[in-house]
């Protein structure tokens, strides 16, 4: 059912970004004239981190701006990449002597616009580099894999590295190590709705689920009959593990992410099923995150992410953060 609590659908992103800044004045500031959130207290030292993309994935990415994570989040229109000018503005707002690292989700619009902004920044003498997150193993070809909930782990690892004095090259390197170790996949039970047109992002039968969906309202790579939590978790976890290199000593962080409207009741049933499954395989789960981390507005469904850790990544994952949600 398409019902939203909004004012003007054409201004929803601006109003949302303003609301986030107003609700968190000690942590966030909106850049005037742009849908960009930066830390209220600009970081003076260390690599600055920027992420962003189309809106509709909240708390991504404005909710991850804060001590220990991002320095800025650039919000495009709903499910549409922000333009290069906005990204460049964010770069100029947060740049430090150590440089700026962009964390880009692997969608063609985001990649094009963020890379253009990085190039322009470099042309103006600003140290700027980027990494591309592609954790969605629903797509076979790694180059075409989308960035989904695993992106939050990259924010956290890179944020801790920047805080710990890693330089730009080192921060990029550890972010890429994380990216190589992060794999995700999701299912959707019900679509999300465009705030402007009111249309659902896809049609789906009463007893069906989309498997391997993206987070921009696109349908999955296949439609299956809706299954039990245990069967869904088993299918996704096995899919992910098939694409990973690991052994019996590997340790993982697990994320159970709601796509927006899936209640914690269901997410915690999924947590139980997935943790039991991994335990039965003899694998060690270092820690587990359950909640709304990367959403598609009110889409019903969930994604699972496995992040294979080593000692360096574990230390960075433990670095304290002050952002909008508990991490």
Q: How many CB atoms lie within 10 A of CB 272?
A: 13
Q: Helix/strand/coil (H, E, C) string of the chain?
A: CCCCCCCCHHHHHHHHHHHHHHHCCCCEEECCCCCEEEECCCCCCCCEEEEEEEECCCCCCHHHECECCECEEEEEEECCCCCHHHHHHHHHHHCCCCCEEEEEECCHHHHHHHHHHHHHHHHCCCCEEEEEECCECCCCCHHHCCCCCCHHHHHHHHHHHHHCCCCHHHHHHHHHHHHHCEEEEEEEEECCECCCCCCECCCCCCCEEEECCCCCCCCCCEEEECCCHHHHHHHHHHHHHHCCCCCCCCEEEEEEEECECCCHHHHHHHHHHHHHHHHHCCCEEEEEEEECCCCCCCEEEEEEEEEEECHHHHHHHCCCCECCCCC
Closer Cβ to a second copy, 206 or 311, answer by number: 206
Report the nearest approach of a second copy to the CB of residue 18 (Å). Answer: 5
Are the C-beta atoms of residues 173 and 132 closer than 8 Å to each other? no
Report the nearest approach of a second copy to the CB of residue 201 (Å). Answer: 13
Residue 216 catalytic? yes
Are the C-beta atoms of residues 31 and 75 closer than 8 Å to each other? no
Closer Cβ to a second copy, 109 or 291, answer by number: 291
Report the nearest approach of a second copy to the CB of residue 238 (Å). Answer: 17
Report the nearest approach of a second copy to the CB of residue 59 (Å). Answer: 6
Report the nearest approach of a second copy to the CB of residue 243 (Å). Answer: 22
Closer Cβ to a second copy, 87 or 236, answer by number: 236
Say which of 57, 61, 155, 319 is annotated catalytic.
57
Say which of 61, 155, 216, 319 is annotated catalytic.
216
Closer Cβ to a second copy, 126 or 288, answer by number: 288
Report the nearest approach of a second copy to the CB of residue 46 (Å). Answer: 23
Closer Cβ to a second copy, 27 or 145, answer by number: 27
The site for a second copy (CB under 8 A) is made up of: 1, 3-7, 12, 15-20, 22-24, 55-56, 58-59, 63, 187, 189-190, 195, 206, 209, 226, 228-230, 232, 256, 260-273, 275-276, 288, 290-292, 295, 297-298, 300-302, 323-326
Closer Cβ to a second copy, 96 or 292, answer by number: 292
Which of the residues are catalytic?
57, 216
């Amino acid at each position: 059912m398409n019902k939203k609590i909004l004012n003007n659908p054409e201004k929803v992103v601006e109003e949302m970004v303003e609301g986030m800044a107003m609700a968190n004045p000690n942590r966030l500031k909106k850049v005037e004239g742009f849908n960009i959130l930066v830390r209220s207290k600009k970081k003076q030292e260390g690599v600055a981190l920027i992420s962003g993309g189309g809106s509709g994935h909240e708390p991504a990415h404005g909710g991850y701006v804060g001590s220990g994570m991002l320095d800025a989040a650039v919000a495009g229109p709903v499910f549409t990449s922000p333009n290069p000018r906005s990204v460049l503005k964010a770069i100029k707002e947060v740049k430090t002597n150590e440089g700026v690292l962009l964390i880009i989700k692997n969608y063609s619009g985001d990649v094009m616009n963020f890379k253009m902004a990085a190039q322009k920044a470099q042309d103006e003498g600003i140290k700027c580099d980027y990494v591309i997150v592609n954790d969605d193993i629903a797509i076979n070809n790694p180059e075409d894999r989308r960035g989904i909930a695993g992106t939050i782990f990259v924010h956290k690892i890179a944020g801790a590295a920047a805080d710990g004095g890693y330089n730009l090259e080192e921060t990029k390197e550890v972010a890429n190590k994380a990216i190589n170790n992060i794999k995700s996949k999701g299912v959707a039970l019900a679509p999300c709705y465009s705030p402007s047109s009111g249309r659902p992002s896809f049609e789906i039968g009463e007893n069906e689920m989309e498997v391997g969906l993206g987070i921009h309202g696109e349908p999955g790579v296949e439609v299956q009959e809706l299954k039990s939590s245990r069967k869904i978790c088993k299918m996704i976890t096995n899919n992910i593990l098939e694409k990973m290199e690991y052994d019996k000593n590997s340790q993982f962080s697990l994320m159970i992410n709601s796509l927006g409207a899936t209640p914690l009741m269901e997410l915690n049933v999924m947590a139980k099923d997935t943790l039991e499954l991994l335990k039965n395989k003899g694998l060690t789960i270092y820690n587990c995150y359950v909640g709304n981390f990367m959403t598609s507005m009110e889409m019903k469904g969930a994604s699972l992410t496995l992040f294979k850790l080593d000692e360096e990544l574990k230390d960075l994952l433990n670095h304290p953060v002050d952002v909008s949600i508990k991490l």
